[in-house]
Structure 1
Amino acid sequence: MLTEPRVDRGALLRSVRELYGLHFEELQFIPLGWVSAGYSVNAGDEQYFLKLWPGGRDAAGAVARLPFVRELHEAGFRARLPYPVPTRAGELSGSVPAGVVALFPFLPGATPADWPKWPDAVLDELGRVLAALHSATPSVVLPREHFSLAVADELRLHLGERIVRPERAALMDQLELLERLQSAVRGLPQRFVVCHADLAGDNLLVDEHGRLSALDWDSAMLAPAECDLALLLHGEQPVDGNVLRRVLAVYPVDKPLELDLFAFFLLRRYVSDYTARVVRLLHGSPDAADAEEAREGMRTWGSAQWERLDATLSIARGALLDR
């Protein structure tokens, strides 16, 4: 969350001390994400990241994936992972009066500026991380991609709203195209791998030695590899195709990749990002700063993206031909 929820920090601190049996010091709110609130907290010389889902809302999917992240970490995954620290009872998350919480080590590094225009060496390492992830065979059962369009149904409910009305015709065109793409990709061979579903930009840290930390596994699933690869081309337009070319240069060439899957995952993301901001404006009671960010985001991450979908797919097509 970009704005801290209405939480009694003192009460939350006492709750997590009891839950984990550690003498945590002051909680420091970190503004990031949409669904959960993040805090930095120290216990002696150790720094941790505390994730709070206020009231327990939207926690179920993320909590269900925590055993997978811990298993991937224990298997020696190439990138550092925010593996969950067990509670005193041995659980990977816990309930407190403020909601549901999970605790993680505070990982080193920083997110470089200007995604995706990062140093080639970092992009090459990202390619190796993705290749390792897509080869993983975890014992934990993950959700499976069904190419659903629940977000399209949600957006249709708001097409008459004032903030959406000026783009109604363009939105209908995007929804029709998305449904055609859905039909096309459901007819393709089902080659599913473990995917992060958003391994780009702010979900990556790079330390001083070039090692990556991969954050936010709340949406990990079994899906086509294009689910991860397509989103390498998700950034402020016009996007830079170097990231996809660098990643594919170190990615296994024996894995077939389909342009229609790139198109589906990109357009669904554009529509999802647009819809999330519409819903936030209409039902989220945002403050002035959040409301302005949401309105700007409708353009930056929604309409400005789908207006250049063909150009973005041209970049993807070229990168696939160069493999």
Structure 2
Amino acid sequence: MSGDGAGAGGPTVAGVMGLLAAGGGRLLDGRGLNSSYRVEWAGRPLSVKVHCAERSSATEFRRIGRVDAALRGAPWYPPVLASGLHGARRPRLVVVRPYAPGEPSDDARRQIAGVVDVLAQLAARGREVAADEELVGDYASVWLSGAREERSGVEPLLTGRWRGLGAAMDEQLPGLCAAARRLTRPDGLRVHHGDLHGRNLIADGSGRLTVIDWDEAGFARRPADAGKALWLSCRLGRGDFVLDPAATGRFLSALRARLDVPYADAGDLARLGALWFLPRRCHVTLLGRRGADLGDWYLGWVGRFWAGFRGNLELVTDVAAALEARSR
């Protein structure tokens, strides 16, 4: 299966994968499940994303293509130049895009305005799309459809030093799912990036931003991108989860102004975003295959999130209440 979409002389999946096999590309750093490379094609720098075999399918191929059709022309969107399933024994989805020069921000709080601008445009583009149900879903979907099974699946991993993580899941999961359901709108389809935060907005020095890492793109009926971006764009540092009150206020104010998100929804939005930080057995297992220490790294990372969740959630609701009072 292929959807290369390349003109004469343009990149093809087979050609780009041949370059990589011959050592003609550079593997980029990252702890994700998929692999990113930079290659040169006819003097043009390209970004190549090779999805892991377990997450490569005809449905994923269609999802990436449908999102691409919805977003083409957006100034911050790098269009798909070629895509397809590559390999006979364990086919992998390969997606080729223009390489975005520049650097991500070391402090995601600086990118809050850009993040919310993209969120608003993703919502607007989604209103013009009719997507098949198999292309609709986000990180909350699996918990809403099968929380008990997901919780049971991760149980064998949550022993020893990870027992506290299991206790946090049991305490918080019902409230998180209830919040996600409250924010779900059957007619509220929007394009879903899946990992929208400041580190995925690349600035080239001239003020132009490019949004990268479209691995998890699809469509959603709740503000899943906004919920996740709240946690990833308003924290004091990348390694920890202590929210900055001032940044949280800017984020919630921008959401209200650009997407008409009421301040009263801030607590539910934070709970929705928190679903992304619940460990899943399949995710830990796949990370472990990439590196022996990545599974433990991931559990430690989400463990730090849940250690500070109560205090951070209280901060979000307090900031929202103050903003609401000021707006009256």
TM over 0.5: yes
Normalised to the residue count of structure 1, the TM-score between the two structures is: 0.73
Q: Does 2:96 align with 1:96?
A: no
User: Which amino acid is the alignment partner of residue 287 of structure 1?
Assistant: G
Q: Using a 3 Å threshold, how does the CA distance of structure 1 residues 248 and 135 change in structure 2: closer, same or farther?
A: farther
1:105 to 90, 98, 102: 98
- Name the SS of the counterpart of 2:104 in structure 1: coil
Q: Using a 3 Å threshold, how does the CA distance of structure 1 residues 46 and 238 change in structure 2: closer, same or farther?
A: same
2:229 to 223, 229, 232: 232
Q: Distance in 2 between matches of 1:278 and 1:100?
A: 19
**Mind listing any 5+ residue stretches in structure 2 that lack a counterpart?**
1-11, 233-239
Displacement of 1:220: 3.0
Q: Using a 3 Å threshold, how does the CA distance of structure 1 residues 24 and 123 change in structure 2: closer, same or farther?
A: farther
Q: Distance in 2 between matches of 1:139 and 1:27?
A: 35
The question of whether the paired residues in 2 share the 8 Å contact of 1:278 and 1:294 is answered with no
Displacement of 1:51: 1.1
The question of whether the paired residues in 2 share the 8 Å contact of 1:53 and 1:101 is answered with yes
**2:124 match:** 135
Q: Distance in 2 between matches of 1:46 and 1:268?
A: 40
User: Which amino acid is the alignment partner of residue 132 of structure 1?
Assistant: Q
- Name the SS of the counterpart of 1:308 in structure 2: helix
**Mind listing any 5+ residue stretches in structure 1 that lack a counterpart?**
1-13, 87-91
Displacement of 1:290: 1.8
Q: Distance in 2 between matches of 1:134 and 1:192?
A: 7
User: Which amino acid is the alignment partner of residue 215 of structure 1?
Assistant: I
The question of whether the paired residues in 2 share the 8 Å contact of 1:232 and 1:243 is answered with no
Displacement of 1:213: 0.9
Q: Does 2:304 align with 1:311?
A: no
What does 1:43-192 correspond to in 2, within 5 Å? 43-55=41-53, 57-60=55-58, 62-74=60-72, 76-79=73-76, 81-86=77-82, 92-97=83-88, 99-116=92-109, 118=110, 122-136=111-125, 137-139=127-129, 141=131, 143-144=135-136, 148=141, 149=143, 150=145, 152-153=147-148, 154-159=150-155, 161-163=158-160, 164-182=162-180, 184-185=182-183, 191-192=188-189
- Sequence identity percentage: 18
Displacement of 1:208: 0.5
Aligned pair count reads: 297
Q: Using a 3 Å threshold, how does the CA distance of structure 1 residues 268 and 250 change in structure 2: closer, same or farther?
A: closer
Q: Using a 3 Å threshold, how does the CA distance of structure 1 residues 141 and 241 change in structure 2: closer, same or farther?
A: farther
- Name the SS of the counterpart of 2:49 in structure 1: strand
- Name the SS of the counterpart of 2:39 in structure 1: strand
- Name the SS of the counterpart of 2:307 in structure 1: helix
Higher relative helix content: 2
Normalised to the residue count of structure 2, the TM-score between the two structures is: 0.72
Displacement of 1:19: 7.1
Aligned-residue Cα RMSD (Å) equals 3.8
The question of whether the paired residues in 2 share the 8 Å contact of 1:233 and 1:240 is answered with no
